[in-house]
């Protein structure tokens, strides 16, 4: 992927000084190309408080909304101890398999907090062509992915448990695995889970033809 980084002046500086600093080369946007093992998807902040009528409402977000982080134009601010940066990301190559890590856990000096937001996603036909830079789109004849594994975390951060949804390629059936227990699961139930890590497989020519048939 391409990573574009722009250093930001300190927010407490006077406007004139900020404008002057932005003219310096240190504050100009820079681009580097990097390989990646997985893509981290950021969830919107969950509501801190709920009234009595909203106690049972769980926040939801579409998968494509959090994938927008990698469209090449969405900017996100990153803060370090001393400096702040704006970053944006753009994919330049799509691998045979993609791993999504949905950032549910936030750790500070005192505790680990979990974001319960549900990600709404289809389990097939996720096309990532629009997240590629324009000049490399033509080099990718296959940009559609199907979900093949979904790792879920249930419960509180310190007391919860993990389970895995796995697609059996030969039969097209989904199974839920937890420890040594294996049970059938309907595909529509997978999309209701608190997905944490997902593995997606790119469709190739023969698989595309089979889907069409």
- List the CATH number of the domain containing 193: 3.90.70.10
Cβ(60)–Cβ(67) below 8 Å: no
* Average pLDDT rounded to a whole number, residues 15-26: 77
Measured in degrees and rounded to the nearest 5, phi and psi for residue 195 equal -60, 140
Query: For residues 67 and 110, which has the higher predicted lDDT (pLDDT)?
Result: 67
Measured in degrees and rounded to the nearest 5, phi and psi for residue 130 equal -70, -15
C-beta atoms surrounding 70 within 10 Å: 21
Residue 69 lies in a domain: yes
What's the token pair of residue 199? 């593995």
The pLDDT score that the predictor gives to residue 210 is 45
Residue 211 lies in a domain: no
Residue 150 lies in a domain: yes
Q: Is the pLDDT of residue 4 over 90?
A: yes
How confident is the prediction for the chain on average, in pLDDT?
86
The pLDDT score that the predictor gives to residue 107 is 82
Residue 207 lies in a domain: no
The pLDDT score that the predictor gives to residue 56 is 63
- Which pTM value belongs to this model? 0.85
State pLDDT tens for residues 67-99: 999 999 999 988 877 788 899 999 999 999 999
Lowest mean pLDDT among 38-42, 105-109, 128-132: 105-109
State the residue range of the domain holding 193. Answer: 2-202
Q: CA dist 3 to 87, 106, 125, 192, Å?
A: 7, 23, 27, 32
Q: Is the pLDDT of residue 13 over 90?
A: no
Residue 140 lies in a domain: yes
Lowest mean pLDDT among 49-63, 105-119, 127-141: 49-63
Q: How confident is the model at residue 50 (pLDDT cuts 50, 70, 90)?
A: low
Cβ(208)–Cβ(132) below 8 Å: no
Residue 19 lies in a domain: yes
What percent of the chain clears pLDDT 70, i.e. is strictly above it?
91
The pLDDT score that the predictor gives to residue 49 is 62
The pLDDT score that the predictor gives to residue 54 is 57
What's the token pair of residue 193? 């889970």
Alpha-carbon Rg for the chain, nearest whole angstrom, is 20
State pLDDT tens for residues 171-213: 999 999 998 999 999 999 999 899 999 999 999 865 544 443 3
Residue 209 lies in a domain: no
Q: CA dist 41 to 17, 65, 72, 106, Å?
A: 35, 10, 14, 13
Query: For residues 45 and 64, which has the higher predicted lDDT (pLDDT)?
Result: 64
Looking at the 3D structure of the chain, how many domains does it have? 1
Residue 13 lies in a domain: yes
State pLDDT tens for residues 125-144: 999 998 988 888 888 889 99
Q: Return the residue matching tokens 């000049």.
A: 135
Q: CA dist 72 to 5, 69, 101, 130, 177, Å?
A: 12, 8, 19, 10, 36
């Amino acid at each position: 992927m391409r990573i574009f980084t722009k250093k930001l002046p300190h927010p407490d500086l006077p406007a004139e000084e900020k404008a002057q600093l932005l003219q310096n080369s240190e504050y100009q946007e820079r681009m580097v190309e990097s390989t990646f093992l997985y893509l981290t998807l950021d969830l919107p902040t969950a509501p801190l408080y709920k009234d009595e009528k909203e106690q049972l409402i769980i926040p939801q977000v579409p998968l494509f909304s959090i994938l927008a982080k990698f469209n090449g134009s969405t900017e996100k601010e990153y803060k370090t101890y001393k400096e702040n940066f704006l970053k944006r990301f753009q994919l330049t190559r799509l691998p045979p398999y993609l791993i999504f890590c949905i950032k549910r856990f936030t750790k500070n000096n005192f505790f680990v907090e979990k974001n319960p937001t549900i990600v709404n996603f289809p389990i097939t036909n996720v096309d990532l062509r629009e997240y590629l830079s324009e000049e490399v789109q033509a080099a990718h004849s296959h940009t559609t992915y199907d979900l093949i594994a979904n790792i879920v975390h249930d419960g509180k951060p310190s007391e919860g448990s993990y389970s895995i949804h796995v697609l059996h390629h030969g039969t097209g059936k989904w199974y839920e695995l937890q420890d040594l227990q294996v049970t059938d699961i309907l595909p529509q139930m997978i999309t209701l889970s608190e997905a944490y890590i997902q593995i997606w497989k790119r469709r190739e020519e023969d698989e595309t033809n089979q889907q069409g048939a």
